[in-house]
Amino acid sequence: MKIDIYKPVVLFLLPAVLAGCSSEREPFPQGGKAGLRIEICSSRGGTDGSPTLVKDFGMVLLDDTGGGYAGAVNPLHVTYGEGWIFPEVTLTETPCRLFAFSPFAAIPGKELPLSLVPQTDYLASGEIRLDWQNRSADIGMEHLLCLLEFTIEGSSACTLSVEGVPTGGTYDLAGGKLSAGEKGTVPSEGNTLLLLPGKAGNNRVVIRFQENTYGWLLPAVTLEAGKRYGYALSLGKEGGLILSGVSVRPWQEGEDYNGTIKPNK
């Protein structure tokens, strides 16, 4: 199998220099055929809110009928070293629909299985349309899940599990639809937990903090993909947990809060 290695273009170079480098590396595509190129693949989430490079991911290439793109063996595994490394794909006049996802999995079609046990941060892109005259893919991925973060008395030194929530599901890359699977218990390894987006509420949360175990009910909420929900809890006089505040913001560092919800006193 032939492998292509493409180095990403440095955007601040002068156009003349870019044209010269591109010309020396590869002739301008002619004759209705050209090789697929990847300019960049990133997701939001840098410490300053800037994009973060995704160096290992999968791609599914389809035509407008929903079938696999001619000559492509789906899914394609893409890695980054000296440049982007992936199996060669020749684009023609036939439009190509590219869908990217992370982490890579050898999925048989266009549906990506999701599992929350163990916890996995799934990313996916929207549709990117290409052809031989528009062959460079600039891929941006978004979180498919939402993140819940718990603190007790300002401390993150706790672990938890949530009962009665979907433990997995599937995501249709082409349709952009997420379907939830069977419900069960989803445990965390720390004070954060990944869940599928959707309606939740009155789910029992078991929290372990300072060698004690507490039971607490999650308030009604509609969880959105790519959002981070912060639950600030405090210890009550009778030994239970009291909700002191809920914050909602984009799931990426360096962003302002979308809003803050204070419970009624």
Same domain, 35 and 8: yes
Phi-psi region of 198 (alpha: psi -120 to 50; beta: other; left: phi over 0): left
Chain centroid to CA 106 = 17
CB 185 within 8 A of CB 161: yes
Sheet containing strand 241-250, edge to edge, reads 192-195, 146-152, 227-235, 241-250, 259-261
Same domain, 18 and 134: yes
Same domain, 85 and 13: yes
The CB density around residue 89, as the number of other CB atoms within 10 Å, is 22
The CB density around residue 211, as the number of other CB atoms within 10 Å, is 5
Same domain, 131 and 162: no
What's the pLDDT tens digit per position in 145-168? 999 999 999 999 999 999 999 999
Same domain, 116 and 187: no
Q: Please identify, among 108, 143, 178, the residue that sits at the C-terminal boundary of a domain.
A: 143
Domain count, the chain: 2
Overall average pLDDT of the 98-113 stretch: 97
What's the pLDDT tens digit per position in 52-95? 899 999 999 999 999 999 999 999 999 999 899 999 999 999 99
The DSSP symbol for 131 reads B
Residue with tokens 């492998």: 3
Same domain, 227 and 247: yes
Q: Which long-range contacts (CB under 8 A, 24 or more apart) does 42-48 make?
A: 42/139, 42/140, 42/141, 43/102, 43/123, 43/140, 43/141, 43/142, 43/143, 44/140, 44/142, 44/250, 44/252, 45/251, 45/252, 45/253, 46/252, 46/253, 46/254, 47/253, 47/254, 48/253, 48/254
Q: How confident is the model at residue 22 (pLDDT cuts 50, 70, 90)?
A: very low
CB 56 within 8 A of CB 78: yes
Same domain, 37 and 91: yes
Structure tokens at 177: 């639809």
In this prediction the pTM is: 0.83
Residue 21: phi and psi, rounded to 5, are: -65, -45
What's the pLDDT tens digit per position in 24-53? 345 556 679 999 999 999 997 544 556 789
Q: Residue 243 belongs to what domain range?
A: 146-261
The domain that holds 13 is classified in CATH as 2.60.40.2620
Same domain, 7 and 53: yes
